[in-house]
Structures are given as C-alpha cells and as structure tokens.
Structure 1
Amino acid sequence: MTRPGATTTPHGWTFFRQWLKNPLGVAAISPSSPQLARQMMSELPRGARRVIELGGGTGVFTQALLDHGISPSELLVLELNEELHQHLQKHFPQVQVACADARDLAELASARGFGPEAPADAVISGLGLLSMPKATQQAILSAAFDCLQPQGRFIQFTYGPANPVAKEVVEALDLNARRGSFTWWNVPPATVYVYSRRVSRAIPPRSMR
C-alpha cells in the first residue's frame, strides 16, 4: 500500500530529483499532500481573488488554488528552481509563473500587476522558512506584506509543530502568528501557520468634564 504523498507520480519524481540535486534548497523529499493543500486553502480569506504563491514546486498548491476558484490571471507563482519552474510553465500555461527569488517579490509583483494599486489577498508559501537565516525570513515576509492588502494573510506550512518564523522577525514586522491545522497525511507531517498584520485598537477619546 502506498502512503499519501509518496513519490510515485511523475510530479513526485520531478520533485524528488530536484531534492537529490539540492537537498538544502528543496524543503522536502516529496510534494505536499492533497490534505495539506486543502488545509492551506481553508486559511484563505473569505472571498479571496488574487493570490501569490511562493515556491510553486510541482504545482500541488497551484492546482488547489485553481480548484478553489482563483482565476489563472489572478495568480502569480514564484519558483527559484529552473527545472521546477519549467514544469510549472508546462502544466499551468495560463498562470503567471516566474523563476525568481522570493526576496525580490515586491519588485516582480509590481511588474506583473500585483503592485500597490492591485494588492494580493493572500500569499501561499511552500518555502522552507524554518531552515533560513532570520535576515532571509524577514526579507521574504517583508516583501510579501508589501504586496498584500491591509487584511491580507501570509499562509505557510512547516514540518513539525514549531513556528517556522523567528519570534524576532514576527516582532520586527509587527505581525500576528496563528497556528492552524496539523496533518499526519503528509511526508513529513506538517503544520499550517497564518501571519497577518497587527491592527491597533483605536483608543476612544476621553470626555471632558
């Protein structure tokens, strides 16, 4: 019996081959499971229309976003690995797919129609943030929130229960971090985290007596 998420499909072998070439640059040995994709989609803001995906891989989340109702023209996918980038372009010809570093997202998104005049509702991330230096984490999240509307969400999965973004980064960017769902049906098991901007509560003026 094959476990969910095992690398037996063509997509799985494409992903596994890239992991063998660069185990530090590819976060897992197999693509994300369908259950994890559903859990990621469940964290999208209600009515979300415009989405950016970071680390598209073989397209598990890309397909889930399209199945969720996101229009191909309203989806921007970044993938730094050239072979995976070509794989995504081949399988999702109507989606904007860029071979680019997530730290350069703000400039790229503006050029692709996701700038301040038309911000995204959410950023879905398959990047291995947990293994990245704090400075890299901060650069990526800062660029992502520059592309999000004020109530937008950054949705990330990680292996294990710990928050993948350093506390110092969350504080520096003035973010809220919320732990979402956990799935065993992924290789390895994964947890979803959701990040959003903190919203200061207005202090009502004191009445003068």
Structure 2
Amino acid sequence: MTRPGPSALASTWTFFRQWLKNPLGVAAISPSSRQLARQMMAELPYSARRVIELGGGTGVFTQALLDHGVAPADLLVLELNEELHQHLVKRFPQVQIACADARDLVRVAGERGFGPDAPAHAVVSGLGLLSMPRQDQRAILAAAFDCLVPDGRFVQFTYGPANPVAKEVLDSLDLSSRRASFTWWNVPPATVYVYARRFSRAIRPRSMR
C-alpha cells in the first residue's frame, strides 16, 4: 500500500485545519479522494478545453483537471477560504486562482478572460450545495450557466445519494439533472451529479388534410 507523500499530507492537514475553524463552511473533514476525482473527470464533455472549478479546496480536482489535459491558462479556480486560496496559489502558480464567492462568478470570470466571448465548456464544483439555501443554489447555478457554452455541463459531487439542488431551482433555471456515479472510497461517500440546460426539440406541425 502506497503511503501519501509530504504534499498530500500537507494538503490534508491544511484542509482539516480549515474544517476545525469552520465546519459548516467546509463540508468534509478531508479532501476529496482520487476515485471521486476520476469520476468527476469522466463526466466532462469530450471536447472540454476551458473549465471553471468552484471550491478548489486543496487542489484535488485542480490537479485532476490538469492531468486530464486542461491547460493551466484555460482553468479558472474559485476558492473563498483565504488560507485554502493561498495554498492553491502556491501549489498551482500557473493556474488562474481567485479568492471569490461563487455567486460572483460572472464578474470574476469576465475579469479573468472567461467572459461571453470565451465561455467555459464545463464547471466542476466541490461546493456544499446541499446545505445552502435555495436562493444561493439558484444564484450559483445561474452564474455558472451564464459562463458556459450552450451545451456546457455543471459537474457536482455531494455526500449521500440525494440530489443537492432543489427541484424548484432546476425548474426555475430550466436545467436537467442526472445522477452519474457513486463512490464509497471517499470520506464521506459521495455521489456525482451532472446538470445541463434543457433543450426542447422542435415539434413538426401536423399536415393539413
């Protein structure tokens, strides 16, 4: 069995320290597992080149996105916690990393070159949407889809089997949801959900007799 290296141990300790300070703001007691990261990457669109990550944490998904082939300049990471933000800046000096609230994504993305002329193909989220008020869920998802191409995806993980986004929020934004995968090899066990815009198919008119 391979033991975690010094950088992994440092990331885990940094994450756990932030959880001790703010257990409601940091949803888990340890960083996400590599198994969960692989499952999140598997749900990216095949042609995904530009990606936004919400809630970078210690960089598990950030590293997975880089390993997946996303160029550092084409990756924007938002992390609201200042200590975790500084950890990410030191670990990924070539990646665009902002200390910002996900509800303010449209402004941040515009300032970082992810505006209407260069939208993202996917948003990967480690935010604790399940514990958020519905108005915050709606604000974050609305901002995310404002920064995505028309067929872009929002890939989210949550603890437990329940959809973390309320049905009324999905309906108000005209979004579909799909439960993609589940892993026990995470602390706590996690489920991956994928959200996308609903596209209505054109209905051919009936022929007149």
TM-score range, shorter chain: over 0.9
SS of the equivalent of 1:16 reads helix
Instruction: Quote the residue 1:171 is aligned against.
Output: 171
1:115 match: 115
Tell me the CA shift for residue 204 of structure 1.
1.4
Aligned equivalents of 1:94 and 1:208: distance in 2?
62
The equivalent of 1:31 in structure 2 is 31
Q: How does 1:73-84 map to 2 (within 5 A)?
A: 73-84=73-84
User: Structure 2 stretches of 5 or more lacking a match?
Assistant: none
SS in 2 for 1:9: helix
Deviations 1:90-141 (A, max 9, x none): 0000000000000000111011111111110000000000000000000000
Could you say if the C-alpha distance between residues 3 and 139 of structure 1 is closer, same or farther in structure 2, counting changes exceeding 3 Å? farther
Distance 2:82 2:107 in 1: 20
Q: Give 1:197 deviation, angstroms.
A: 0.2
Aligned to 2:58: 58
Aligned residue in 2 for 1:19? 19
Deviation (angstroms), 1:3 = 10
List alignment gaps of at least 5 residues for structure 1: none
SS in 1 for 2:155: strand
Question: 2:44 aligned with 1:41, yes or no?
Answer: no
Find the aligned partners of 2:92 and 2:148 in 1 and give their Cα distance. Answer: 23
- Alignment coverage as a number of residue pairs: 206
Query: Which of structure 1's runs of 4+ aligned residues deviate more than 2 A?
Result: 1-4, 205-209
Q: Deviations over 1:2-47 (max 9, x none)?
A: 999xxx7110000000000000110100000000000000000011
1:1-209 matched pairs, under 5 angstroms: 9-209=9-209
Give me the whole-angstrom Cα distance separating, in 2, the residues matched to 1:17 and 1:124.
24
Q: Distance in 1 between matches of 2:71 and 2:99?
A: 20
Cα displacement string for residues 175-208 of structure 1 (whole angstroms, at most 9, x for unaligned residues): 0000011000000000000000000010113334
CA distance in 1, matches of 2:205, 2:137: 38
Matching residue's letter, 1:26: V
State the Cα deviation string for residues 41-91 of structure 1 (Å, max 9, x = none): 000001100000000000000000000000000000000000000000000
- Letter of the 1:78 partner, please give it: L
CA-atom RMSD in angstroms:
1.5
- Matched residue SS, 1:62: helix
TM-score by length of 2: 0.96
